[in-house]
Amino acid sequence: MQTVIDIHKLSFLSTFLLNHSSVISVQKKNEKLQNEFNSVQSTITTNDNTTGASGCVRSLGFRLSNRIVKGLVEVKQLIGDGRAFEDKIVGVNPVPNAVEYIPAPFVEAQPTAKRNLDKMMGLLKRNEKAKTIGVWGMGGAGKTTLVKNVNNELSKDPTNQVFDIVIWVVVSQNASVEIIQSKIATRLQVTINKESAASYLYNKLKGKRFLLILDDIWEGVDLNDVGIPPLEDHDSKVILTTRNFHVCQEMSTDTEFEIGRLSDEEAWKLFSEKVGEEVVNDDQIKASAKAIVEECDGLPLALIIIGASLRKKTEVALWKSALYALQKSEPTHIHGVEEKVYKPLKWSYDSLKVKQLKSCFLFCCLYPEDFEIDTGRLVHYWLAEGLLDEQQNYEQLENDVKRIVDCLIGSCLLEKCAVGIDKVKMHDVVRDVGVWIAKSSEDWCKSIINSGITEMQISQQLLSCSDKVKRVSFMNSKIAFLPDCSIHCPETTALILQGNRGLHELPNPFLQGFQMLTTLDLSKTNIMLLPDSLLQLGELQALILRHCQSIRELPPLEALRKLQILDCSFTTIAKLPVGFETLANLKILLLEETPKLREIPTGIFCKLHKLEFLSMEGSGIRWGTRDTIEANAPIEDLLCLNQLIVLYIHFKSIRCFTTQHTSWFKRIKKFRFHVNDHSAYWPSQIENEVLLKGLHFSGDEMVGWLLLNALSFGIVHCEKVDLMLDSLVRNSASLGPFVNLKKLSIIYCCIFGKPLSLGRCDEQIDLLPNLEFLSLSGVSGLESLSSFNNFLGLGFKLVPVGI
């Protein structure tokens, strides 16, 4: 009986394997083998019902065994033939369509989107060099809509295909090479295994003109690992969409295509279409509708979702409530906004891999909407907040901030303001999401942010805050009064009250609850006195009083031993505070535009051994040697500051410089040196500038060493300039050419005579080999421009330009 069961199992197995083979050429063998097994089964069944001698049974079993063994051999052979043949018939899979239509919003009625579409089609059809195209921009800007329309444009004319096949792959977060390979295989209607996927896809795509669209990619992918053949072989291309510009860099895209915001007109049109024209044009609703569109800041996703939530709603109260919720970054009050706008945009924040980047982004949310954030100021804030390595020098700190800002810009969390300006800003909706994150967080980044909002009293907000709040910002909120009581914020590190012009007093009890405060910003307020409670803030590292024009005197600051940044620029202080010399950790001291500050006690700066940044432009202080007439601060006090690398000051006279100072000044990385004999301030933002103003030259001034690292040299209202220029030429043998100097301006000066030293030089050198800009304004005494050229032995030639 056991033999019968085994034969049945074998019969079932062979039938299963053979019946599921798709190999047509072995069908007859299959049928023959099946008949043989049926015969064996019939013989066994017959003999089970018949009694006979034991010898007959043994004889029957022997014959059956031979037939079974022979059948097994044939089964194995048939299975092997089927597998071998299967590898040769992969091509019989259905051929996929060249382009698969993907439902997407039409962009023909949107001028900006239509222009982007036309440009993309031009890159695909006419630009042979654009093999890999990176489409980047913030979430919800319309990147996916654009490439879907590109795909559909290619599907409109099947008789004139640009590509043999267009492959659409949605990558999204946490996608691996294997997942991308699987999606490509699905599009090609083939089956792959993990071990040979790359080579299989390579062979499948090789020789074809393909367009691979990788939508929503968060990290760079090596196309070689995926199995994508070289794009140059058959005019193939790759389009990738991403929120992070650094992905484009990592994947070496040939062309980057940024998707920006909609224009005001397009934004209003899109919003109106979603809400309904008759609703948004209602006289009682239109003002709120306009304000809501401004809050969306041209972001299509926000306009569509918020517009849909307000569709056909005619109650004015609902519109006002929606506007207030957006201004307060409270998305739960508007249907769909949290799930469909805020959370998708939060992915960009979540994708920041380093906590430092997240904290720096959330700090930028402390500023009001549309605020232009000075990246130089971020160095001060982030240093005090512990977001930067305080062991770095100022130049390294500045570079670190630029790196962080660049990363946030690349992640579409910050935007550049303008070319060449070190300022950034935040998209309104991105800021709203950041404020929402900071408010809702329960850990290290919880904040109270009411920047630019004037409806709420500061006392109500602070009294209701939790003990875990880290940052408080009421910047530009028109606050006139602070509560005259202690506010319990034991973990708050930053208190920003900047821009509240109506604030005249800082009550003494107010600061007593901020024991862990590291940053206090009172800039652009009208506070007249600083309270004694300020001196109890033992952790304070940044005290910012910039543009506090009502402050005339500072209290003793010797208790603030951890202070690293003191900014008293644009104040009316007449002297430095008592105990100033004890601020041994001070790194950054800003005293710009303090014209009433006209005296600095001798030796007071020598004790600030960690000082790296000193700015005193526009102050009443003129530096000179101790014997310089009318100088009110000795330059010898600066020579002991060995950490100083940024210096913006005024010198009383050019005569205070000697060759002994040369090595010290060479260490200064960034500077503006203004030398003049009167107090008029010459405003400038040019780095590494030397400005000589109102001087009478004798020809023996030490000017050349000042220009060794200078980028700009200005001479204004000076006399006997020819003597000074001749001195530069005479000293050129020892100093060499001023290779860094790119700009030379001479304004309202007289230049008489001829250069005295040209005939004495054995070999004339080009003193300004890299000069890019030459300005002569109000200059008299020159016979010709060529004669000025001879003064400095300049290497350029004057070439007449035809009209």
pLDDT in tens, 618-661: 898 888 777 766 677 888 888 889 899 999 998 887 766 666 66
pTM given for the model: 0.80
Whether the pLDDT of residue 790 is over 70: the answer is no
Identify which has the larger pLDDT, 702 or 696. Answer: 696
State the pLDDT at residue 336.
Answer: 87
Burial of 581 (0-12, 13-18, 19+ CB in 10 A): middle
Nearest alpha-carbon partner for 323 in 283, 296, 284: 296
CA separation, residue 209 to residues 91, 131, 198, 271 (Å): 18, 12, 18, 40
86: confidence class by pLDDT, cuts 50, 70, 90:
very low
Ranked by mean pLDDT, which of 114-118, 517-521, 762-766 comes out on top?
A: 517-521
Residue whose structure tokens are 């230049």: 751
Identify which has the larger pLDDT, 34 or 155. Answer: 155
The 10s digit of each residue's pLDDT in 540-570 is 999 999 999 999 999 999 999 999 999 999 9
CA separation, residue 457 to residues 199, 477, 527 (Å): 66, 10, 18
Name the average pLDDT for the chain: 82
The 10s digit of each residue's pLDDT in 431-464 is 999 999 998 876 678 888 888 776 556 765 666 6
387: confidence class by pLDDT, cuts 50, 70, 90:
very high
The 10s digit of each residue's pLDDT in 416-432 is 887 667 899 999 999 99
Phi, psi of 643 (to 5 degrees): -95, -10
Burial of 560 (0-12, 13-18, 19+ CB in 10 A): buried
The 10s digit of each residue's pLDDT in 192-239 is 888 888 898 988 888 888 999 999 999 888 998 999 988 877 788 999
The 10s digit of each residue's pLDDT in 48-84 is 544 444 444 445 445 545 655 566 566 556 555 554 4
State the pLDDT at residue 686.
Answer: 79
State the pLDDT at residue 761.
Answer: 44
Six-digit token string for 301: 């996703």
The 10s digit of each residue's pLDDT in 760-787 is 444 556 788 888 888 888 888 877 776 6
Please count the other Cβ atoms lying within 10 Å of the Cβ belonging to residue 38.
Answer: 12
Identity of the residue numbered 385 = E
Six-digit token string for 25: 């050429």
Q: What is the mean pLDDT of residues 9-18?
A: 43
Q: Which residues pair with 671 in a beta bridge?
A: 647
Q: Sign of torsion, CA 754 759 760 766?
A: positive
Angle between helices 300-309 and 286-296 (to 10 degrees): 150
